[in-house]
């Protein structure tokens, strides 16, 4: 297995351009905004109760330590609201704690690259609160601590205790790497140690209903060097899908239909799984953990399963935007080539999870296709989840929308016509924040001989081979300048983006392997690469019924869409002209299309060629849609 490791976010400084602007937005707008949301300070937004829960848990622990008994409340729901719960009990979704952890992880990534005493002080306060909500034996979950500690770890399938642990651990590593402060890392390790005792070789044969603990344990293993965490991650992976099903044991009953187990990817032992199934976020989080464990243990069988699952997703079950999850039912995958545009679930978190998975595959399988998928997700199905001002979010990311249908069709009730200020189930907004703030960690990787450039952000980085900087005009001209100051000779591998029709490098005859152009570098050196981000008319495989006879417009990594605001209503009436006469103005794409004229009032009538009129249409990047009020949107246009 040829291995590589990612160069960490801390070693990579994004210097300017598109992603620098996004990181600044996260730092200046999104992080403060989300802090207010977690504190329930945003008017008109769904309540989080996240910080409130931590405060209540800390108080309960304090009281119990003083010998004062605390009330017991039910632990029997996914969402606790003032209507279904006692006023002093836990509120929100069972996994509400994870929102604060994701926020802290994002703060950690920001602090890895700059000093910000105010932000650090805010985070330290939150960490103190988290530590106060931790039980003496390391357990940390506000739902159980507030409502009924005696019931902890009795419903791994649904109650997200290991999921919340996973987010705690990821936040802890990010914050520790940023500040060197141990408090949150110690807190996460104490919880990890409890989990290793409870679910280790000698313990209960459980694993999480919502995967993430696997990849989080690997992060803790890397940060602390403790083998126990690697062993536990592998145990969780090895156990999943083996019989008798742990979820049956804990629930005291069999679910009757094997299909139910697919929701948690627990239908088969993971090494036997071929198709991506079930809840999409869970799936890609599991596969990310599998890819991590395969890389740490050099296990070919596990890696082969990861490769099959990656191909299952990206060759048959992924939207052109990098979105995954074709149905709202179970927020899940369905079947191959079933990619409906207007009922798509395509949760922001799922595209984020696919990015995690692709990123981890690069550790063991040197192939540009993984970075291509990261890029597809990042520029499209992830960024679309956030408004341009960083203060509103999409949970689901359809590729086509008519506001009147969304409002009247219960099958589309998961879709919103405009981004929301916050959600009761707010998994996506802080997930977007942590991904973008840490994007530096996705750009480069290295092994003993080679430095790989996976994403072309403008950056400066410290690597094993010396300093590297990238000046990127990737989105606009496709031109990228790379300067290195090498401490020792090495090979530089530049990913050739799959969208680039042709490319030129300032040095001739690169050796091309697995989609990377490789150059031998010594001393101070500068290389330029010119990729070709020309406008492309893309189609889907003809097995995708919804897209037959339709095309999507892309330029470079960006997928484009039509909006009512630019093109009028009735976007379905448009078809791209065979002579579109594309024009790119640095942001939008203009093209000729024909608009079918109103066919009168009859619902059905005998066919005759419809009248059409020429219309110049405007396409905007998909991620920017719905920033100008409510209206129709369409990625695919008839051709």
Catalytic residues: 331, 427
Helix (H, G, I), strand (E, B) or coil at 459: strand
In the numeric block, which tokens belong to residue 614?
A: 């020429």
Q: Could you tell me what percentage of the chain is helix, strand and coil, using 3-state DSSP and rounding each to the nearest 5?
A: 40, 20, 40
Please classify residue 343 by burial: count the beta carbons closer than 10 Å to its beta carbon, then call 0-12 exposed, 13-18 middle and 19+ buried.
buried
Binding window for Zn ion (CB under 5 A); candidates: 261-269, 362-370, 385-393, 425-433: 425-433
> CB 428 → Zn ion: shortest distance, Å?
3
**Beta carbon nearer to ligand FUB, 208 or 564:** 208
Minimum distance from CB of 281 to ligand FUB (Å)?
4
CA 255-291-9 angle, 5° bins: 125
- Is residue 435 near ligand FUB by the rule CB under 6 A? no
195 is a contact residue toward ligand FUB (CB under 6 A): no
DSSP state of 324: B
Whose Cβ is closer to ligand FUB: residue 425's or residue 565's?
425
- Whether the Cβ atoms of residue 632 and residue 571 lie closer than 8 Å to each other: yes
CB neighbours of residue 422 within 10 Å: 22
| 3 state SS of 178 | helix
- For residue 147, give the nearest of 73, 241, 235 by alpha carbon: 73
Closest CB 114 distance from ligand FUB, rounded Å: 30
Mark residues 346-385: x for contact with Zn ion by CB under 5 A, - for none: -x-x------------------------------------
Judged by CB under 5 A, which stretch of 93-101, 324-332, 422-430, 623-631 contacts Zn ion?
422-430
Q: Are 184 and 130 in contact (CB under 8 A)?
A: yes
The answer to whether residue 331 forms part of the interface with ligand FUB (CB under 6 A) is yes
Q: How far is the CB of 347 from ligand FUB (least distance, A)?
A: 5
Question: Please, which residue, 207 or 474, has the CB nearer to ligand FUB?
Answer: 207
Q: Does 320 bind Zn ion (CB under 5 A)?
A: no
Location of structure tokens 């991650």: 233
Per DSSP, the three-state class of 619 is strand
Distance of alpha carbon 431 from alpha carbon 102, whole angstroms: 6
Closest separation in Å from C-beta 350 to Zn ion: 7
CB of 95 or CB of 394, closer to ligand FUB? 95
Comparing every residue's Cβ against Zn ion, the nearest one is 349
376 makes contact with ligand FUB (CB under 6 A): no
Residue 617 site contact among Zn ion, ligand FUB, none (CB < 5 to 8 Å, cut-off depends on kind)? none
Which of 25, 133, 235, 281 forms a contact with ligand FUB (CB under 6 A)?
281
Cα distance between residue 358 and residue 354, in whole Å: 6
Give the β-pairing of 459-463 and 12-14. Answer: antiparallel
Of 172 and 281, the one with the shorter C-beta distance to ligand FUB is 281
Here's the x/- map for ligand FUB, 311-330, by CB under 6 A: it reads as --------------------
Given the complex with ligand FUB, which of 268 and 425 has the nearer CB atom? 425
According to CB under 6 A, which one of 131, 425, 512, 639 is a site residue for ligand FUB? 425
190 binds, among Zn ion, ligand FUB, none (CB under 5 to 8 A by kind): none
Instruction: Pick the piece of the chain touching Zn ion (CB under 5 A) from 79-87, 174-182, 289-297, 423-431.
Output: 423-431
Q: Is 368 in the site for ligand FUB (CB under 6 A)?
A: no
Residue with Cβ nearer Zn ion (61 or 435): 435
Q: Where do runs of H (alpha helix) occur along 298-342?
A: 300-316
Q: Binding to ligand FUB by residue 349, rule CB under 6 A?
A: yes
If the CB atoms of residues 154 and 526 are measured against ligand FUB, the closer one turns out to be: 154
Provide the minimum distance between the beta carbon of 538 and Zn ion in the complex, in angstroms, as a whole number.
27
Q: If you search the block for the tokens 């290793």, which residue do you land on?
A: 196
With CB under 5 A as the contact rule, the residue among 233, 401, 428, 444 that binds Zn ion is 428
Collapsing DSSP states into helix, strand and coil, what is residue 387? coil
Bridge-partner residues for 75, per DSSP?
none
Which residue is nearest to ligand FUB, using beta carbons? Answer: 281
Helices and strands of the chain, counted as H and E runs: 20, 24
Which value, in Å, is the radius of gyration of the alpha carbons in the chain? 25
Q: How far apart are CA 230 and CA 250, in angstroms?
A: 25
* DSSP codes joined into one string, 200-259: STTS-----SS--HHHHHHHHHHHH--HHHHHHHHHHHHHTT-SS-HHHHHHTS--S-TH
Q: Which three-class secondary structure state does DSSP give residue 490? A: strand
The residues of the shown chain that bind ligand FUB, judged by CB under 6 A, are 95, 210, 281, 331, 347, 349, 425, 427
The residues of the shown chain that bind Zn ion, judged by CB under 5 A, are 347, 349, 427-428
């Amino acid at each position: 297995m040829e291995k590589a490791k990612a160069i960490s976010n801390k070693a990579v400084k994004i210097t300017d351009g598109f992603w620098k602007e996004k990181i600044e937005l996260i730092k200046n707008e999104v992080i403060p905004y989300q802090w207010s949301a977690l504190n329930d300070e945003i008017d008109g937004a769904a309540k989080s109760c996240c910080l409130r829960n931590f405060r209540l848990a800390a108080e309960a622990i304090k009281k119990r330590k003083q010998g004062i008994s605390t009330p017991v409340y039910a632990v029997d729901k996914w969402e606790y609201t003032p209507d279904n719960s006692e006023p002093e009990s836990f509120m929100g979704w069972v996994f509400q704690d994870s929102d604060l952890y994701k926020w802290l992880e994002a703060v950690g990534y920001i602090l890895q690259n700059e000093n910000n005493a105010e932000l650090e002080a805010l985070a330290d306060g939150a960490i103190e609160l988290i530590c106060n909500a931790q039980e003496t034996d390391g357990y940390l979950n506000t739902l159980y601590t507030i409502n009924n500690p005696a019931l902890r770890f009795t419903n791994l399938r649904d109650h997200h205790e290991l999921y919340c642990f996973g987010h705690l651990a990821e936040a802890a590593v990010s914050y520790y790497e940023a500040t060197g402060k141990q408090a949150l890392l110690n807190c996460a390790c104490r919880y990890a140690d409890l989990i290793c005792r409870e679910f280790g070789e000698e313990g209960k044969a459980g694993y999480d209903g919502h995967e993430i603990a696997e990849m989080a344990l690997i992060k803790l293993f890397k940060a602390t060097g403790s083998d126990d965490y690697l062993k536990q991650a592998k145990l969780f992976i090895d156990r999943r899908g083996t019989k008798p099903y742990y979820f049956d044991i804990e629930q005291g009953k069999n679910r009757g239909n094997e299909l139910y187990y697919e929701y948690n990817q627990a239908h088969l032992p993971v090494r036997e799984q071929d198709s991506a199934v079930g809840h999409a976020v869970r799936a890609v989080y599991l596969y990310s953990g599998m890819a991590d464990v395969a890389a740490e243990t050099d296990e070919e069988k596990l890696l082969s399963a990861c490769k099959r699952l990656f191909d299952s997703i990206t060759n048959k079950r992924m939207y052109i935007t990098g979105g995954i999850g074709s149905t709202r039912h179970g927020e899940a995958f369905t079947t191959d080539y079933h990619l409906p545009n207007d009922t798509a679930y395509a949760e922001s978190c799922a595209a984020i999870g696919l990015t995690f998975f692709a990123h981890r595959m690069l550790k063991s399988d040197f192939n540009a296709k993984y970075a291509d998928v990261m890029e597809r997700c990042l520029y499209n199905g992830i960024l679309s989840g956030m408004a341009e001002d960083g203060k509103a979010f999409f949970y689901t990311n359809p590729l086509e929308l008519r506001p009147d249908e969304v409002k009247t069709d219960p099958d589309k009730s998961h879709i919103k016509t405009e981004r929301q200020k916050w959600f009761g189930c707010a998994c996506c907004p802080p997930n977007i924040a942590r991904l973008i703030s840490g994007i530096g960690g996705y750009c480069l990787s290295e092994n003993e001989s080679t430095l790989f450039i996976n994403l072309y952000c403008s950056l400066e980085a410290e690597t094993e081979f010396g300093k590297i900087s990238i000046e990127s005009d990737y989105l606009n001209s496709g031109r990228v300048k790379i300067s290195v100051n090498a401490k020792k000779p090495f090979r530089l591998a530049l990913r050739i983006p799959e969208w680039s029709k042709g490319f030129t490098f300032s040095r001739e005859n690169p050796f091309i392997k697995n989609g990377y152009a490789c150059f031998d570098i010594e001393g101070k050196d500068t290389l330029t690469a010119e990729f070709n981000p020309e406008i492309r008319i893309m189609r889907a495989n003809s097995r995708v019924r919804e897209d037959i006879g339709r095309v999507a417009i892309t330029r470079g990594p960006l997928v484009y869409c039509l909006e009512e605001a630019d093109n009028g209503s009735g976007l379905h009436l448009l078809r791209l002209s065979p002579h579109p006469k594309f024009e790119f103005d640095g942001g939008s794409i203009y093209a000729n299309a024909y608009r079918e004229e109103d066919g009168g009032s009859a619902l059905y009538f005998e066919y005759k060629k419809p009248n059409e009129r020429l219309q110049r249409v405007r396409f905007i990047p998909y991620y920017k849609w719905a920033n100008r009020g409510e209206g129709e949107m369409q990625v695919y246009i008839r051709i």
